Chains A and B, each alone.
Chain A
Amino acid sequence: MSKGKAPCLGIFLLLAVSVGAKPTPIGTVTSCTAATIHGTSLVPGSTIFSGDAIDVGPGGSAWIAAPGGAQVRVFENSAVSFTSNENSIEVIVTRGVARTNSANIVIRTLPSVAGLPPRSAPAVYSQRKDCAVSKSAKRSTPCHDDSD
């Protein structure tokens, strides 16, 4: 193989792998209010994959559970995106505030966001009524309809 063809083949293979690669599951939405994922209403039970972006509106929140009992909470007026590598999950906060209870989840706030004070994000976790599959619920409720 000529010298010129080898890098081209490498790039082609890399692109082929990245195009064909299946997204990695990161966690599950356990609860949400006034939240969207890529513009579609977020629903409890939804899987979050690497590369997904969540937007939480005013008065909303989203809880994402990851394996091992790790959790991420995205506060109101916030936008985050998720990526993962072999050892950890990275949450990039592009707007607002997100918190986690796990050392395996890294929350990075963009510099433009970090300079701003958090917008009306409560400092402690609040206990919220469940909006997922409760005993009385016949169906999952899209987050924008969630009244709790």
Chain B
Amino acid sequence: MYFPHIQEAPVCSIRIQIRARELILVWVESSIRIFLAVIFFLAAGLATSSALAKWFSLQETPEGFRNAIRFAPWNAEYYAGMARALERPLKPQNLIEVIHHYEKAVQLGPRDAAYWSRLGNAYEWAGREPDAQHAYARALSLSPGSPAVNWVAANFYLREGAPDRALELLRKTILLDPDLRRPAFDLAWRAIQDGELIAGEMIPSRPDVHFEYLRYLVETGRIDEATAAWNRAVERGYPLDPKTAFPYMDALIQFHRTNALKDAWSAMTGSDPSLMETGKNDSNLLVNGGFEGEILNGGMDWRMDSVQGAAITMDRAAPFERTRSLEIKFDGSQNPADALVYEYVPVEPNTSYSFSGYMRGLDITTNSGPRFEICDADVPARLFIQTEGVLGSSSWTMRQLNFRTGPETQLLMLRVTRPASGKFARRISGTVWVDQLELHVDEKSFLNAGERNE
């Protein structure tokens, strides 16, 4: 028996199922295609608008940023850029718009400290100090390690009359950015003018910062504060190298602070054994009088300026005593009139001194030979004496000067010099050697003066 409907029924059902599956597949495929197309167009649109916005923003004009915001209203940077563009030149009528754009920028980018910092600025210009303080505080909380944010906030607190908070932030700024150290020192002095407060609250206990601050004080002529800073460095045991110390010592010389100069020199040489003069006669007031140590070219050691026509070196061939002497070789091309080497020597007023030094010459020409010269470092008219010059060739010969300082003389300048010659054959050639220079208090005259006083 044949029952066709019984066999065809499942076949039909299977066909329907297959057809349905095909339709679903086609639908899914189409949907995916449409979805991808939409995504593609959206992405393309987004990329295009972002590119256009970027392009407009590069104009850096209010109009450019306005267009940038139109194409990319979600980008906080364009609002901040718009506000910045309106700031220069800021017209008073634009201040509200500037604030609005910074507010929008912090709304879209609430974690950007720079936007908050600039918003604080704008609030301050508008006289909204509490809002400004909140904005600066937010910037600091978001970016406590940013030197720029600390710097701007420190300035705000100075303007607001809160120096303690300002100095605390400047201290952080100084540690975070070495480039801002000098501006911070200057700002603090312009605003506060209290050396003790600035040193205590703003200058961190770090030798590099401390000595940079000392240099700033020296360069701005704040000699009392510089001395206080130097003394703190000594107390804290910071390394006192000549490079740091010499500008300070030069300032002490300039400001006639002879005692502080002596203290600074002692502290510097005491802190570095390599600077200690070996074998020095304690009563000799001159530093490195035998030229056995390297010439430091500063402080209370010898100083040399480059003099045309004269070459200054250390000679080990035939010193007067110990191992070295100073050799000055004149090449015959010049008629120098400057000090060849010189040294500052602190002395007591109204005191008698005895100077001695040795010179040797070889083929020295002209009528004006090298010599020793001693003068008051501040006012040469108060004291000026010199030995005879070395001429021709001679063996080691002692030159002596005995003198008494006046009531105002506290610092001498000892020079090995060669005054310019006025003669026809005035160019100097030949070589001179210098050694064993000593300056002592003249005990005999000191005792005589004491006896007279008694």
Contact = CB atoms under 8 A, between A and B. Distances in A.
Contacts of A128: 88
Interface string A31-73: 1000001111111011101001000000000010111111101
A20 B321 CA distance: 59
B117 A133 contact: yes
Given A69-B91, A69-B92, A135-B80, A45 B186 contact: no
Given A135-B77, A139-B146, A41 B177 contact: no
Closest 6 CB pairs of A and B: A69-B92, A69-B95, A40-B186, A25-B159, A45-B152, A139-B147
B267 interface: no
Interface string A135-148: 10111111001000
Interface residues of B, number: 50
A142 B90 contact: no
A132 B219 CA distance: 27
Nearest to B161: A22
A28 B125 CA distance: 9
Give the size range of A's interface with the partner: 35 or more
A139 B179 contact: yes
B128 to A, nearest CB: 10
Q: Interface SS of chain B: helix, strand, loop or mixed?
A: helix
Given A23-B190, A142-B179, A129 B60 contact: yes
A68 B125 contact: yes
A71 to B, nearest CB: 5
A75 to B, nearest CB: 13
Contact of A30 (B87, B180, B186): B87
Given A133-B118, A140-B147, A47 B159 contact: yes
24 contacts: A22-B191, A22-B192, A23-B193, A30-B87, A31-B88, A37-B186, A40-B186, A43-B151, A43-B183, A49-B191, A67-B125, A69-B90, A70-B92, A71-B88, A101-B90, A125-B89, A127-B88, A132-B118, A133-B114, A133-B118, A137-B114, A138-B148, A140-B148, A142-B180
Given A40-B182, A125-B89, A139-B176, A46 B125 contact: no
Contacts of B158: 25, 47
B404 to A, nearest CB: 41
A145 B169 CA distance: 23
A42 B187 CA distance: 10
Contact of B127 (A25, A39, A68): A68
A45 B149 CA distance: 9
Contacts of A63: 88-89
Nearest to B183: A43
A66 B149 CA distance: 20
Contacts of B176: 139
B88 A125 contact: yes
Contacts of B183: 40-43, 46, 142
